[in-house]
Amino acid sequence: MSEYMSISKAAEYLNVAKSTLRNWEAEGLITPLRTASNQRRYTKEMLDEVLQGNVKASKPKKLLTIGYCRVSSGHQKEDLQRQKDVVSRYCEVNGYQFKIIQDVGSGLNYKKKSLTELINMICKKQCERVVVN
Protein backbone atom coordinates (compact mmCIF):
# COMPACT_ATOMS: atom_id res chain seq x y z
CA MET A 1 0.00 0.00 0.00
CA SER A 2 1.33 3.42 -0.95
CA GLU A 3 2.11 6.02 1.65
CA TYR A 4 0.49 9.38 1.02
CA MET A 5 2.56 12.56 1.28
CA SER A 6 1.44 16.10 1.92
CA ILE A 7 2.38 18.80 -0.57
CA SER A 8 5.26 19.84 1.73
CA LYS A 9 6.70 16.32 1.87
CA ALA A 10 6.19 15.84 -1.88
CA ALA A 11 7.97 19.13 -2.64
CA GLU A 12 10.82 18.08 -0.36
CA TYR A 13 11.00 14.65 -2.05
CA LEU A 14 11.24 16.26 -5.51
CA ASN A 15 13.39 19.14 -4.27
CA VAL A 16 11.00 21.73 -5.71
CA ALA A 17 8.81 24.45 -4.23
CA LYS A 18 5.20 23.71 -3.26
CA SER A 19 4.13 26.30 -5.84
CA THR A 20 5.86 24.19 -8.53
CA LEU A 21 3.62 21.23 -7.63
CA ARG A 22 0.56 23.48 -7.80
CA ASN A 23 1.68 24.77 -11.22
CA TRP A 24 2.28 21.22 -12.48
CA GLU A 25 -1.23 20.33 -11.35
CA ALA A 26 -2.69 23.34 -13.22
CA GLU A 27 -0.76 22.27 -16.34
CA GLY A 28 -2.07 18.72 -16.06
CA LEU A 29 1.35 17.17 -15.37
CA ILE A 30 0.27 15.64 -12.07
CA THR A 31 -3.08 14.99 -10.43
CA PRO A 32 -2.85 14.65 -6.67
CA LEU A 33 -5.46 12.86 -4.64
CA ARG A 34 -7.62 15.08 -2.45
CA THR A 35 -8.67 14.56 1.15
CA ALA A 36 -12.16 15.32 2.42
CA SER A 37 -10.83 18.75 3.45
CA ASN A 38 -9.45 19.24 -0.11
CA GLN A 39 -5.76 18.89 0.81
CA ARG A 40 -3.42 17.46 -1.83
CA ARG A 41 -1.90 14.03 -1.28
CA TYR A 42 0.80 12.38 -3.42
CA THR A 43 2.23 8.88 -3.63
CA LYS A 44 5.91 8.10 -4.19
CA GLU A 45 4.98 6.32 -7.43
CA MET A 46 3.13 9.39 -8.68
CA LEU A 47 6.12 11.62 -7.95
CA ASP A 48 8.59 9.16 -9.50
CA GLU A 49 6.57 9.30 -12.75
CA VAL A 50 7.11 13.06 -12.84
CA LEU A 51 10.83 12.63 -12.10
CA GLN A 52 11.18 10.14 -14.94
CA GLY A 53 9.39 12.48 -17.33
CA ASN A 54 6.70 9.90 -18.09
CA VAL A 55 3.87 12.38 -17.64
CA LYS A 56 2.55 14.49 -20.50
CA ALA A 57 0.65 17.73 -19.98
CA SER A 58 -3.02 17.45 -20.70
CA LYS A 59 -4.68 20.41 -22.30
CA PRO A 60 -6.51 22.24 -19.51
CA LYS A 61 -10.22 22.43 -20.16
CA LYS A 62 -11.55 25.86 -20.98
CA LEU A 63 -13.88 27.03 -18.25
CA LEU A 64 -17.03 29.04 -18.79
CA THR A 65 -17.51 32.69 -18.01
CA ILE A 66 -20.71 33.21 -16.06
CA GLY A 67 -22.81 36.31 -16.64
CA TYR A 68 -24.95 37.00 -13.57
CA CYS A 69 -27.98 39.25 -13.96
CA ARG A 70 -30.53 40.09 -11.26
CA VAL A 71 -33.49 42.39 -10.73
CA SER A 72 -35.54 42.88 -7.56
CA SER A 73 -39.00 42.19 -8.93
CA GLY A 74 -40.91 40.75 -11.86
CA HIS A 75 -41.90 44.29 -12.87
CA GLN A 76 -38.30 44.87 -13.99
CA LYS A 77 -38.21 42.27 -16.76
CA GLU A 78 -37.12 44.86 -19.33
CA ASP A 79 -34.16 45.81 -17.13
CA LEU A 80 -33.27 42.13 -16.73
CA GLN A 81 -33.30 41.68 -20.50
CA ARG A 82 -31.12 44.81 -20.91
CA GLN A 83 -28.62 43.40 -18.40
CA LYS A 84 -28.52 40.06 -20.23
CA ASP A 85 -27.95 41.84 -23.56
CA VAL A 86 -25.12 43.98 -22.15
CA VAL A 87 -23.39 41.06 -20.42
CA SER A 88 -23.80 38.82 -23.49
CA ARG A 89 -22.32 41.47 -25.80
CA TYR A 90 -19.39 42.02 -23.42
CA CYS A 91 -18.65 38.28 -23.31
CA GLU A 92 -18.95 37.92 -27.08
CA VAL A 93 -16.64 40.90 -27.75
CA ASN A 94 -14.03 39.39 -25.43
CA GLY A 95 -14.34 35.92 -26.98
CA TYR A 96 -15.53 34.24 -23.79
CA GLN A 97 -17.44 30.99 -23.84
CA PHE A 98 -20.26 31.98 -21.48
CA LYS A 99 -23.52 31.14 -19.78
CA ILE A 100 -26.02 33.68 -18.43
CA ILE A 101 -27.52 33.03 -15.00
CA GLN A 102 -30.41 35.24 -13.93
CA ASP A 103 -32.42 35.85 -10.78
CA VAL A 104 -35.48 37.84 -9.82
CA GLY A 105 -35.49 38.71 -6.13
CA SER A 106 -34.18 40.97 -3.42
CA GLY A 107 -30.46 41.46 -3.09
CA LEU A 108 -30.91 40.78 0.63
CA ASN A 109 -32.19 37.25 -0.06
CA TYR A 110 -29.21 34.92 -0.36
CA LYS A 111 -31.34 31.83 -1.01
CA LYS A 112 -32.01 32.53 -4.67
CA LYS A 113 -31.71 29.40 -6.83
CA SER A 114 -29.45 30.92 -9.49
CA LEU A 115 -27.23 32.69 -6.96
CA THR A 116 -26.74 29.36 -5.17
CA GLU A 117 -25.88 27.74 -8.52
CA LEU A 118 -23.31 30.49 -9.20
CA ILE A 119 -21.72 30.17 -5.75
CA ASN A 120 -21.49 26.38 -6.14
CA MET A 121 -19.81 26.76 -9.56
CA ILE A 122 -17.27 29.18 -8.08
CA CYS A 123 -16.54 26.91 -5.11
CA LYS A 124 -16.10 23.89 -7.39
CA LYS A 125 -13.87 25.93 -9.73
CA GLN A 126 -16.23 25.30 -12.65
CA CYS A 127 -16.04 28.83 -14.01
CA GLU A 128 -13.18 31.08 -15.01
CA ARG A 129 -14.78 34.44 -14.29
CA VAL A 130 -18.06 36.11 -13.38
CA VAL A 131 -19.37 39.13 -15.29
CA VAL A 132 -21.99 41.29 -13.56
CA ASN A 133 -23.78 44.38 -14.89
Pick the catalytic residue: 6, 72, 88, 114? 72
| 8 Å CB contact between 109 and 59 | no
Q: Is 72 among the catalytic positions?
A: yes
What is the DSSP code string of 11-80?
HHHHTS-HHHHHHHHHTTS---EE-TT--EEEEHHHHHHHHTT---PPPPPPPEEEEEEEESSGGGHHHH
Catalytic residues: 72
